[in-house]
Amino acid sequence: MSNYTPTLAERTQPSQQWIQQVRISYPVERAIDEVFTRKLHNRLRPVEHIMDFSTLQAPLLHFLKEETGQSNIVVENLKRLSGGASKEQFTFDLTWQAESGQRETLCLMIRMDPTESIVETHRLRECQILRAMWGEVPVPEVLWIDPLGEKLGRPALIARFLEGTVQPEQPANSEKMSGVGMYFNPALRAGLGQQFVNILAKIHAVDWRKKDLSTFDTPALNSTQANEWAIGLWERAWNEDTLSAHPIMERAVLWLKENMPVVDEPVIVHGDYRSGNFMYTPTLDINAIFDWELAYLGDYHDDLSWATLELFGGHDEAGDPLASSLMPPSDFLERYERASGNKVNTNTLAYYHIFSYYKIAVIAAATSVRVAYSRRTHLDAMMNFASGLGSVAISELNRLLDKATT
């Protein structure tokens, strides 16, 4: 693995030569290299700011006519969804002729790449993982995809829109980012907690070899290759996006490379499994798991670490921490072992806690800052706000590294 570090000038204004150097310096999956390289090439072009979604209606209608083979379809009520830190999201109504022969109206959602995202990901890869999970765990049904943005202007996928609650009503005077320190009252915790665990166990049990995951590279069994690729992704993101070096980040990535655990049997790792990324109905049934864009084949401990991070969890009425705001971390891990049959290795879990804070630091202290500063996102203010988590993540990263090395 290369220790190549770009200069500030290279980070600020990439050249074709530098782009090629970056590509060979960090081992990543082929699909990840594709989207990261496209991002760098886009930086050589004039900045395109927020999409004027009033221009989306015509290409969307044309795209759906081609995909459905129906000329008399109608697209109405195109609206931007709030949030969506990494992707631009819209809802719309599609009226078309169903298989029954009757005219039918569907409420759909479209997820599109912004000019530049806080997490550069691959739409076909996201489509494939959602389709692989359809019928296995609750996910939105993907209907159509424009993987390269050749028809819609930017890479996009279209799925059925689901109704439900993501963020419960918060206590008075509480304003938090979705998924960060959310509060679920005792009744919600009792109704949702075991489902949250069971669904994660099911994700890790899916036989990915029987699914169409052609955009996913398969790491070797009983090797560190899954972690080599995962670290390569985040190290590359840091070095492409940060505007300044940071000794703790350099210390962290060196430690991560030197201490990579072997992954005996890779599983599908969701990559962002936590509160804020699931939705539930009034009857307290989890009816959708969202944000699969960071999924990869790796170690189930990665998801366990992410779900138990104190940064993402709230506290109970006594002030004790809760994993993903739903249950004590030890309870979460015990329930997961029972539901999955997988054993939790505390040393491996500690490794992924360090890796998790490294990822958060990359997103918050590097990519969010750059994207907001260059005005390549529709959520400049949120990205500036999120950047404050970078200092928290780096501080926690340093503490965990000190603990791991003493």
Residue 255 inside a domain? The answer is yes
CB contact set of 94 (below 8 Å; sequence gap of 6+): 64, 73, 74, 75, 105, 106, 108
Assign residue 244 the CATH number of its domain. 3.90.1200.10
Q: Are the beta carbons of 222 and 350 closer than 8 angstroms?
A: no
For residue 180, the model assigns a pLDDT of 75
The domain containing residue 200 runs over which residues? 8-404
Residue 295 inside a domain? The answer is yes
Residue 185 inside a domain? The answer is yes
Residue 1 inside a domain? The answer is no
Residue 2 inside a domain? The answer is no
For residue 83, the model assigns a pLDDT of 58
Residue 3 inside a domain? The answer is no
Helix/strand number for the chain, H first, E second:
14, 9
Identify the CA nearest to 41 among candidates 66, 60, 22: 22
For residue 1, the model assigns a pLDDT of 43
For residue 11, the model assigns a pLDDT of 65
Overall domain count for the chain: 1
For residue 209, the model assigns a pLDDT of 97
Mean pLDDT in consecutive groups of 10 residues from the start of the chain, 406 residues: 60 75 88 89 67 81 96 94 74 92 94 76 95 98 95 94 88 54 93 98 98 98 98 93 88 97 98 96 97 97 97 92 97 98 98 97 81 55 58 92 94
H-helix or E-strand spanning residue 288: strand 286-289
For residue 381, the model assigns a pLDDT of 44
For residue 173, the model assigns a pLDDT of 43
Residue 106 inside a domain? The answer is yes
Residue 361 inside a domain? The answer is yes
In this prediction the pTM is 0.92
